[in-house]
Structure 1
Amino acid sequence: MNDKHFDKIKNNDGFIAALDQSGGSTPKALAAYGVPETAYSNDDEMFKLVHDMRTRIITSPAFSSEKILGAILFEQTMDREIEGKYTGDYLADKGVVPFLKVDKGLAEKENGVQMMKPIHDLDETLRRANERHIFGTKMRSVIHEPNEEGIKAVVDQQFDIAKRIIEAGLVPIIEPEVDINSSDKEKCEDMLKEEILKHLNELSSDQLVMLKLTIPTKANLYKELIEHPNVVRVVALSGGYSRDEANEKLKENDGLIASFSRALASDLHADQSDAEFNQSLQKAVDSIHDASVNKK
């Protein structure tokens, strides 16, 4: 583990940028950026275009370590270069800690949840992540309903894989997202918190994790998780909320910082001039940082 990166993530003010759209979500991310599906004819061209988009974000002066602690990358982004350096090294040189999305997407809904698909190449991915100087990983499941069996299965799976990631010398971000449109969102969150606490309390003192959670309906619900000795940091996903709405909800939760994706890039467009692009990104960075640091 990189001690300098650990100290930054654990103790500094700021937020984590999520630049990890993959596979199925890439066309949506490009379309939102103003690049239609007619602009590419195969996956290679699509991933080249999304890397160009991410490169523009990462190289922008607005994307600085002053307010951004870390960035979560898609696997192909990790393996590509920015200005002659692997993306993780480029980020680290800017003072931004690199993370890697390691899940392979979501399984079909069962027992009110979507677990992760099997990650057959996890060991090889973690080996390459270490070669690329990645600090930590991220993996996502989704909870739709307050189903006890389903939520337990999601958290069991997350922690089982997290322990393998810890053994590889990386810090896992565990992300059991609660769907913001769930009719029983608050009940899901109560059940999720208790299940996570059970697992945290079973970890040894050197098994450290991060958590990425939906902003809770009940403010400060996750205070106990934030203060847990095995938790490096708890970050929040925007989950489909607009940036303004996500920021307002985030401000109500002490110690919770952002890890936004769509809410970060929602005003960025391929046709913007560099000045317009940088101004839009700076506005987003400033507002998300403010919500992560200045609490009500």
Structure 2
Amino acid sequence: MRRLWRALYYLLWFADSPPLIDRTIERLCSWMRVSVDTWLYFQVLWETVCRYWLEIDHLRLDKYYALLNRALGMAFEEWRHLARIIEQVVLGPVAGTSTTQTLNDSPNALGVALHLCDKWLDTVLLQTPGGPRTLTFMSNSDRPADLVMEPFLRLYVAESERASVLQLRNRKLLMQRAFDRIWQPLVRPPPSPPLSTGEHSKHPVYLTDTEHRQQLATRLFKRAAGASVPPLGRKLAYACVRWLHREADSPMSDKNIIGRVMNTRQRRRRRRGRGRQRRGRHHLRS
């Protein structure tokens, strides 16, 4: 299958006209339905793109982004398989969150992981039957939302001992991107009224159901309270919990919550500096 996808990868590489590109992407993704093992085909697709990601020039990036979007759009029906493959093939090697990673895993496909953070809500989570109002975070559900959010939750709670320096840097970038593009639209109310349609489109979904918000807050708090959770991951997870405990109709602060979380250390340093200045003035007076 890897040899087959190596050839299919270059089939899209040499497609040079928009109609030919669209037909090629549609065929590559439609074969996933008729292959012997649908999820093996889907997994090798992502493995191939991640393996050769650095050799894709900027003129061909849009073609492969379109391929990944189309593949996600056809695979959202089975959340369990989808979340497992995304964690194993993309986020695990890039951010070092997988417990079974090896030295052969390449952390270079950061662009693929960032693209997933940008498209995950629109392409996967919002495709649930019935829309966002039917989301549930109960583990006994047929399609619980926490299952499809698990790969991005592991960015915050996974241990960092086995991750390399490059993987830790990638994880920090992915934490911030996932917070802005996935977690914050889920837990933070959109501006009311929206300034424009473009401003409203930044908030594609917002959990207004009190039960759903309590379920997600409880799950995030339990996972973030682990002893092995990195400090930055714990801070961002607790920031989501604070927003989830707010009422849906409460006025939203003008301050960005992520700014308060990320600048805690800076505020502590300022307080220490002011304390030293007071002690210095008191010493001079005495």
**TM-score between the two structures when normalised by the length of structure 1:** 0.30
- Rg larger for: 2
From the two aligned structures, give the one with the greater helix fraction.
Answer: 2
**TM-score between the two structures when normalised by the length of structure 2:** 0.31
